[in-house]
Structure 1
Amino acid sequence: MISAQVWADAQQLWDFQQMQHELRPCSVAIGLGSHDLGVADTTAELFHRGMAPLIVFTGATSRTTRERMPRGEAEHYRERAIELGVPSAAILVEPRARNTGENIQFSRALLEGQQVTVSSALLVSKPYEERRAYATARKLWPEVEWLSASTSSTLRDYIDSIGDERLVVDMLVGTQQRLMLYPQQGFMIEQEIPNDIEAAYARLRDAGFTSRLVPETLQRP
């Protein structure tokens, strides 16, 4: 069980990640690979709502998905979307990306190779990574208008769906660290981080929620 202070701090980081973008139809929806099939579900829902005529699912595997998604995150996302009624012809698969920067770069190359004109994109991620994904995409593909989207969920409901509250808090802390670190390394646009968010992050880090932190010299978005 996590303490009341940890819960309050985690809630602050969770809320900060939510971009609250007003969604509208875009050229393409890009679903970022991860352990969370909810990203595929939300991307499929946006397709059915007419928010994008084309989907790109991007992602290889990671230490958290190697066993659960042996064919690769993007391929498992594609299979899930087809189960949910998305035509296979409306889905492109980018199977190599292993981090958020590669998700954007490789998706761009795939779309350009398919001669798809992209002026705007729905960027679909896990709920606690909306801002991180947006900041990365804005840096690496600035010509596109980006709108962030994720599964609508409370922190409590998301933790219950994952089944590991400590892992979710660790991920929140890791995501916040990257928002603070990577702009200095040229991987993201700079964003204003409120003092209360920095303080919540520091308390969680000092409390030991550190499994998803990266060394400050690591050159990877």
Structure 2
Amino acid sequence: MITIDYAKARETMVEQQVRPWDVLDPRVLDVLATVPREAFVADAHRNLAYTDISLPLAHGQFMMKPVLEGRTLQSLAVDPTDDVLEIGAGSGYLTACLGRLAREVVSLEIHADLAATARARLAAQNVLNAQVIQADALNYSTDRRFNAICVTGAVYQIPQQWLQWLQPGGRLFVMRGRSPAMEGIVVTASAERNEVNASRIQSLFETDLPYLEGAAPAPAFEF
């Protein structure tokens, strides 16, 4: 049986994968170096927890590569006083990372089994400032406003209500576009509450991710 030094694996992941991909925020690097990623993957994939690959979850979903998780966290510039909404809890790993960076995290997960597993993993790691709600983010409604929104799956178009969930000056990170040509972007809401359409969009990098359920484009027919 192979025994893996997970602490060493975390250090190697940060120094050889994440940092070279221009993830330089000290708080983000510290979180990635301390949150035990192996505790958020299935037993069958535990020895792959720190490799530069995406890992399969149920329902055709995937856990993002560590480099994408690092870029996602850095792009949101989460402060310790921020309230964060995560769309797509998945394994619960990114939820835990956000919990270390923010004041509070609310995470929406459409699948009951993934939500339950993520809750259990977060509790086991004593992440007390994050809650996972079973809900479809495309049909969810809330009166809360968040400083940051983290979307862990791709969308073809950004639903307008997501932008309305941002505080003035809040940030939303999402992968958008038509596979395989997607881009990771940050949308920064206007500083004025009544100017939803005055958001600023910054393109960060290109990638390709599975779509959130219901967020894929209609099939394109060729004649």
TM above 0.5, yes or no, is: no
Identify, as 1 or 2, the structure richer in strand. Answer: 2
Structure 1 length as normaliser, TM-score?
0.40
Structure 2 length as normaliser, TM-score?
0.40
